[in-house]
Amino acid sequence: MHEIKPGQSVELLKELHILTRDGKMNQDSRRKLKQVYHLTQFIEPLLQEIQKDHQDIQLVDHGAGKSYLGFILYDLFFKKLENGSRIYGIEARGELVQRSQELARRLEFPGMSFLTLSVAEATSSDLLPAKVDIVTALHACDTATDDAIHFALQKEAQSIVLVPCCQAEVASVLRKNKGKRLGGDVLTEIWRHPLHTREFGSHITNVLRCLQLESHGYQVNVTELVGWEHSMKNELIIAKYKDLPRRRPAQRLQELLSLLGLEEMSLRFFPDSVALI
């Protein structure tokens, strides 16, 4: 049991099926717990930083699924806060939301809310506060990560933590425009082969997201979540609002879209006009 953090509820880990009823852990559960713990190591300093400004923390977890991250964060950090701090789990599948609501009641975690919404719907929902402190999206597929970024920007989040997954949209645009570009720009050799289209599309999606966040004044750090042997969807993007200059990253983002023939995606990465300060 040395892998379990001090103070962690064993009952919670059993309810999440990370531990069996007799307290054992299989290889898949060990891998899952390691990922979530590793992510909490990045998130906890962000929470502590927020507390220097105000004690009550509003965290929104998009594409929450079974809410492993939300429950473990609440158990390790939020449970001891006796204020208005709250974790909101946003998930489109109603049965998972209901299951999480029931589990929060059983464990007496009153500072957790679960809402049946898409990531995009959450931006305009009056069930969420007008302003939140931190937004997380762990393995939010394809454009759901972009919706989470848009949500975070609208809600003026101090910190954003993303582990993107299955980025197909940019690759599909590269694929569609490939034929008319191959005869000209040598750069298109980077994504001429279908496998390269997919991989380059995934990579460039995250590059564009980082520039988008920087164009809104965030300081961005990109690292690995865990070793590649645990997950191929492994890129962790952490953005902290520092009110940094916006003009250069916004220009670079526009230039990159133009260079790669992705102008039609401007609305994806510039959903609102960017103030070029």
Question: Residue 182: pLDDT band by 50, 70, 90 thresholds?
Answer: low
Q: Which residue has the higher pLDDT, 1 or 226?
A: 226
Q: What is the pLDDT of residues 6-65, one digit of tens each?
A: 888 989 999 988 888 887 887 888 888 888 888 899 999 999 999 999 999 999 999 999
Q: What is the pLDDT of residues 83-95, one digit of tens each?
A: 999 999 999 999 9
CATH architecture of the domain covering 1-165: 3-Layer(aba) Sandwich (3.40)
Q: What does the domain layout of the chain look like in residue ranges?
A: 1-165, 167-218+234-268
Q: What is the pLDDT of residues 256-271, one digit of tens each?
A: 999 998 999 998 898 7
**Global model pTM greater than 0.85:** yes
pLDDT value at residue 61: 97
Amino acid at 155: K
Q: Does residue 251 have a pLDDT over 60?
A: yes
